Amino acid sequence: MTQIVASLAEVSGVYRALYCDLWGCLHDGKRAFPEAVEALRAFRARGGTVMLLTNSPRPKPSVLRQLQNLNVPEDCYDEIASSGDAAQHALITGAVGRKVYHLGPEKDDAFFTDFAEDLRPLAESAAPIVKVPLAEAEGIVCTGLFDDLTETPEDYRATLLFAREKGLKLLCANPDIMVDYGHKRIYCAGALAQAYDEMGGQSFYFGKPHPPIYDLARRRLEAIRPGIAAEDILCVGDGIGTDIQGGMSEGLDTLFITGGLASDTFGANGEHLEPARLADWLAQSQLSPTFAISRLR
């Protein structure tokens, strides 16, 4: 039975580390949430370690720059692991070939050049990855829509059908279907990968809820805080099918933020969750997070 809590501090005393989502929990793509920042600061002040675990297709160095632009203070987290990092490892090792078509905006170009410290040696020693037109590609790297403010997956139907006929594999750098950008809900790379799978193509996923990003997070957590066991970690996120499903699949406790992607049901800023409504909604999802809260605070 999911326990509804009023604050992170109410339950965080039994955990030594957090895997905390970004979009919908710590920021909305335009601004940081002050209460969330303070909640993470308080957790660290009690000796906890905060791992920001994000399905962003951006590699860690790029995520760091984005956090700075959003005025997320560095003293509210310790380390970062992104879906982009995990997908980079697969790209470097040839999961979809060496000549690839980049399906995504120019702002994600750093995916091909910007590597975290623990991935840079592998990238420098591997054969180069070359971006080419779709007709020349051995595979696709999907980081998102070219214009996520105006486009939908339907706009890519012809492109994906052509790729399927060529038998191209698609590397999905962000399994999220949608996120909230300010007050607007936009599609992510996961929506295109899902559409590709549904038409008979083959997509590879590396972010939440899939194992590669958790393997990366464990390695990075062990490097800065050795000896933290699974029972010492709490996963925080607003994606029931990503953050919560992923955490549960890894055998970790979870804190579901209802005011993010599920805000249409529960409201974005509600102070009190209705237990019956939450129980009915979770029953439909067939998932049972350990805890639930309206927003991270």
Structure tokens at 280: 């009915």
Residue 270's pLDDT is what? 62
From the number of C-beta atoms within 10 Å of its C-beta (0-12, 13-18, 19+), residue 215 rates as: middle
Structure tokens at 8: 């992170």
Write out pLDDT tens, residues 28-67.
888 999 999 999 999 999 999 999 999 999 999 999 999 9
Write out pLDDT tens, residues 179-212.
888 888 899 999 999 999 999 999 999 999 999 9
User: How confident is residue 269, by pLDDT bands cut at 50, 70 and 90?
Assistant: low
- Residues 22, 237 contacting (CB under 8 angstroms): no
Residue 9's pLDDT is what? 96
Mean pLDDT over residues 274-285, rounded? 91
Mean pLDDT over residues 207-230, rounded? 97
Query: What is the rounded average pLDDT for all residues in the chain?
Result: 94
Structure tokens at 134: 């779709």
Residue 271's pLDDT is what? 64
pTM summary value: 0.89
Q: Which distant-in-sequence residues (6+ apart) come within 8 Å of 95 by Cβ?
A: 139, 169, 171, 204
- In our burial notation (b when 16+ CB lie closer than 10 A, e otherwise), range 165-177 reads eeebbbbbbbbbb
Give the E-state strand segments of 16-86 in sequence order: 17-20, 49-54, 79-82
237 C-beta neighbours (distance < 10 Å), count: 31
The radius of gyration of the chain from alpha carbons, rounded to an integer in Å, stands at 19
- Residues 266, 294 contacting (CB under 8 angstroms): yes
Mean pLDDT over residues 68-84, rounded? 96
Q: Calculate helix-pair angle for 60-69, 83-92, nearest 10 degrees.
A: 150
